[in-house]
Amino acid sequence: AEALFETGKGLPAGHYPGMSALSKDKQTLYLFVEGVPTGSIALKGIKNEIARIRVVGEGTILPHTIYNKLYWSDRPGIIYIDVPKEKLDKQMTVIAVLLNKPLELYRENVGAIENNL
């Protein structure tokens, strides 16, 4: 219920390969994981720091790892969330990602190459 009621539109395309929702205060991101994933769950372009990640309805705290984050760059890394197979629902698992402040996304403006020199 917490992930469906009192939530709004989730992440735009390219940040998470599934359905998502965002709480009204924009500090909790709900990721809907269908079936059993073959590996870690990946999130791209999240500028925020993560306070904690948990399985909704069950409460298990999940670990995460951030790769490809360079200390000198403003580009965020890719967040990988590992969910133990015994914590997954056969049809749909909901993961809550609690952020340190309202969601900020990294969106790169891609355009035509004007000069190759």
Over residues 98-108, the pLDDT tens digits come to 999 998 888 77
- Give the whole-angstrom CA distance, residue 9 versus residue 22: 6
Work out the average pLDDT over 54-82.
89
Nearest CA to 44 out of 73, 11, 81, 15 is that of 15
Looking at residue 110, its pLDDT comes to 64
> Structure pTM?
0.85
Dihedral angle at the C-alpha atoms of 48, 49, 54, 59, nearest 10 degrees?
-120
Whether the pLDDT of residue 63 is over 70: the answer is: yes
Is the distance from CB of 28 to CB of 104 less than 8 angstroms?
no
E strands within the chain?
7-9, 19-23, 28-34, 41-43, 50-55, 64-67, 78-81, 92-99
Structure tokens at 45: 């372009």
Work out the average pLDDT over 39-46.
90
Whether the pLDDT of residue 3 is over 90: the answer is: no
Looking at residue 30, its pLDDT comes to 92
